[in-house]
A and B are shown apart, each in its own frame.
Chain A
């Protein structure tokens, strides 16, 4: 018996490295559709919000496309699995202080703030860093030790409830590298650019059944 491929709506909001994420999803046999169409989002099994962009602009674009209500509907009301990558994770927060104070989705209580600069500490945090897995999460099934992932960011998500933090990384202090709250997942790093580790993580996300 052949099973139907997992259908993933890859949200297109005018920012984000969509092709990279689509390519990674294709390598694991998922069917990714790059879309800003609410109906496609409603029909998909899972939702991925990639993120290369500035927070206020991302929020404004999502609002303009009426996607925030659609995401609320499918992720919060209907419990579809959501993976936010980088900015897509930061958007889960209550609010962000990138540029101007901007409200996030508010699905994971916390705020987005600038990484602290310090002696010998360059910002953006850019490159491969290892993570420390803090609690059991289906996202990290089959991971052992301290896997490395690719990061590139200037802001980070400070969670109010540490139970939402499933992995941390260290760059001038420890902060959330991955979060999970029920069906809502987020990674500060870029799994689509993290080669083997990223592929396993994306597979875990696609196989998550809740």
Chain B
């Protein structure tokens, strides 16, 4: 039986591991390579590693840091941030990424999803969606949350999965770094609309939040960040808690 994954979501900026609050307030949480070794020692299910300012800065992904990180890891890694072309996807897969996340560039040119999936298969093409709640409902944002679009996350997720995205990383900007729990309403809307797996991101502060994301939000993988950076909870503890809460997770 397929296990539900618990996935540390790590973000880098200027060669450092950082953690944001609502995509702002950049807090340094350490050296990427040291962090990679730590998570490797924990045998985590998978990792997401995003260069979060590449698109805003209008530059290529930080290949050197991404590669140095991947060199320390034996688990599957989804890499992303600043991916603008099929060549970028190829390069990320070559330096140690197993899946590649597209975000702003896919909103600008949705055909990129189809071209990337055509070359590498949908199973390694991931769509990252950053969402803000607005007066007119949930809206997709790009460029590290700086630019709002009129896209609804549900519509975008459905369209992207038809084009070739094999997985969706759904991040609530409003919950990012707040440790107030996932935006379960957002999660429910998207997980019930698409038939590809959805990774929930943004808001986990307690181990109960992880379970809620699964049981109430319907997520297929639970992304965690602040809880591992700033509390005494570790991935192994999260897995153990999920298991006793009735989730089918991997026994490391």
CB distance from B63 to the nearest CB of A (A): 12
* Majority secondary structure of chain A interface residues (helix, strand, loop or mixed): mixed
Interface string of A110-126 (1 = CB under 8 A from B): 00000001000011111
Name the prevailing secondary structure of the B interface residues.
loop
Interface residues of B in 220-240 (CB under 8 A from A): 220-221
Q: A24-B74, A123-B195, A124-B196 are in contact. Are A54 and B96 (CB under 8 A)?
A: no
Q: With A52-B121, A125-B2 in contact, is A117–B195 under 8 Å at CB? A: yes
Residues of B within 8 A of A151 (CB): 2
Taking a contact as CB atoms under 8 Å apart, the answer to whether A23 and B71 are in contact is: yes
Docked complex Cα distance between A30 and B9 (Å): 32
Contacts of A154 in B (CB 8 A): 121-123, 166
Closest beta carbon of chain B to A116's beta carbon, Å:
12
Contact B76 A150 (CB under 8 A): yes
Tell me which residues across on chain B come within 8 A of A138, comparing CB atoms: none
Tell whether, in the assembled complex, residue B74 and residue A193 are in contact, meaning their CB atoms are under 8 Å apart.
yes
Q: Given the known A-B contacts A53-B119, A54-B121, are A127 and B45 also in contact in the complex, defined by CB atoms under 8 Å?
A: yes
**Closest residue to B220 on the A side, CB-wise?**
A122
Supposing A126-B167, A150-B76 touch, asked if A17 and B1 sit within 8 A by C-beta, the answer is no
Closest residue of chain A to B71, judged by CB?
Answer: A23
Report yes or no: A171 in contact with B2, Cβ–Cβ below 8 A. yes
Stretch in contact with the other chain, from B52-60, B87-95, B136-144: B87-95
| Contact (A123, B196) CB under 8 Å given A19-B70, A19-B95 | yes
Distance to closest chain B CB from A22 (angstroms): 10
Flag if A52 contacts B120 (CB, 8 Å). Answer: yes
Question: A19 to B74, alpha carbons, bound, how many Å?
Answer: 11
B 10-48 contacts with A by CB, 8 A? 43, 45-46
* A192, B98: Cα distance in complex, Å: 10
Counting chain A CB atoms within 10 Å of each CB, which of B5, B43, B122 scores highest?
B122
A151–B98 CA distance with the chains assembled, in angstroms: 11
8 Å CB contacts to A: which residues of B149-192?
166-167
Chain B's closest residue to A99 (CB) is B118
Interface pair B123/A126, CB less than 8 Å apart: yes
B131 within 8 A of A: no
Residues of A whose CB lies within 8 Å of any CB of B are 14-20, 23-24, 27, 52-54, 57, 87, 98-99, 117, 122-130, 148, 150-154, 170-171, 190, 192-193, 195-196, 198-199
* Chain B contacts to A: CB under 8 angstroms: 1-5, 43, 45-46, 70-71, 74-76, 90, 93-99, 117-124, 166-167, 195-197, 220-221, 250-251
